Amino acid sequence: MKKYLAVLLGMLIMLVLSSCESSDSDTLAQREIRDILYDISYDFNLKDMNGIMEHLHNDYLHRGMNRYNFNNLWLNRMTLYSLLEIEVLYIDLNGNSAVVYSKNKFISNSDTQILNEPEESGDISYFKRDNGVWYIYGDQHMIKSKRH
């Protein structure tokens, strides 16, 4: 009986340790993703498009938009808005991928646009970890054009 109790106790300890390890790695992943979003808002406010692009995966694809299209979209946003505030609401982690739910507030002297992500645009909501580094990856969907 003592032998079974010792085995059961050992299994319980291993389960607790493995759940702590997973929790620690999830916490670290969330912190890394939040840091990337903070960097993006900081770079946006400094008008540093290169800084933002450093966080994009080379295979970025979102609703038919590639890296080139992303760059143009964000340069356009920089001309319209002077500040970006990102409020992270929730990060859904799934192994080496993540979806960030956030409120992205683009602010100018005359206008404010708030995007509830990923529903409204989602261009910086989908992440992938590649070689231990998190990158914005997009939803990886190509939009097919309608032919008339």
Mean of the per-residue pLDDT values of the chain: 88
Token representation of residue 11: 């299994």
Other residues' Cβ atoms within 10 Å of the Cβ of residue 105: 16
Q: What is the mean pLDDT of residues 79-86?
A: 98
Per-residue pLDDT for 71 more than 60? yes
With bands split at pLDDT 50, 70 and 90, how would you rate the model's confidence at 24? confident
Does 9 score more than 70 pLDDT?
A: no
Closest CA to 137 of 71, 61, 65: 61
Please, what's the b/e burial string for 56-95 (b: 16 or more CB within 10 A of its CB; e: otherwise)?
bbeebbbeebebeebbeebeeebeebeebebebeebebee
- Taking the model in full, what pTM does it have? 0.81
- pLDDT at residue 1, as a whole number: 57
Q: Please, are residues 141 and 61 in contact by the beta-carbon 8 Å criterion?
A: yes
Domains and CATH numbers, the chain: 26-136 (3.10.450.50)
Rounded Cα distance, 68 and 43, in Å: 18
Q: For residue 146, count other CB atoms closer than 10 A to its CB.
A: 5
Q: pLDDT tier at 42 (50, 70, 90 boundaries)?
A: very high
CA end-to-end span of the chain: 76
Whole-number pLDDT of residue 83: 98
Residue 10: pLDDT band with limits 50, 70, 90: low
